[in-house]
Amino acid sequence: MNRVVFSLILVFFLSSFCFSSSLDIDPVSNWTEYKTIEGVKIEYIFKECNSELVYNQTLVLFRFTNTTDKSLNVNWKLKIYRDGTCYNCNTLYRQESLKELHLNAGEVFVGDCSSKIDKRGYIFSHFNVKSPGMSDSILTDFEFLEFNVINL
């Protein structure tokens, strides 16, 4: 009997562990450095957005800072994980996945909540309040890939 109870508890624990969607990134409310690559400092912040165009959503906003005294072109792809699974791996290497940005010497580009038109500055994380039919999916990680810096 004890062996059966122990086995059931073990199965429950392991299945809970395997299906949990733990965050690999910290849901920070202050700008946090992701990394600096060839003079471009990348930072992120989780922001609850309730503007006229972006309502009831949490976005991860990005801030790119050119720390050099030269103009730079940067381009990258962003690998996105939702609920612990790669969300965009099937489309990651399409041309439309490539993001590009021009930064003058010392310039800072900051994503914001005012609009979701410029996709270079944010990633959708999750809905803050869900209505029936809305996705429960949540951003669990992201990774900048093929981040290239070109001196001009």
pLDDT tens-digit profile of 7-51?
433 333 333 333 333 457 778 889 999 999 999 999 999 999 987
Contact 119, 56 (CB under 8 A): no
Please determine, for residue 133, whether its predicted confidence score (pLDDT) is greater than 80: yes
Report the topology of domain 22-151: Immunoglobulin-like (2.60.40)
- What is the rounded distance in angstroms from the CA atom of residue 116 to the CA atom of residue 147? 22
- Domain residue extents for the chain: 22-151
Give residue 4's pLDDT.
Answer: 42
Q: Which H or E run contains 146?
A: strand 139-151
Percent of the chain's residues with pLDDT above 90: 64
Question: Which of 48-57, 68-77, 121-130 is modeled with the greatest confidence?
Answer: 68-77
- What is the rounded distance in angstroms from the CA atom of residue 45 to the CA atom of residue 132? 28
- β-pairing, 85-86 vs 72-82, is antiparallel
Give residue 53's pLDDT.
Answer: 76
Considering only residues 66 and 116, tell me which one the structure prediction assigns the higher pLDDT: 66
Average pLDDT value over all residues in the chain: 85
Percent of the chain's residues with pLDDT above 70: 85
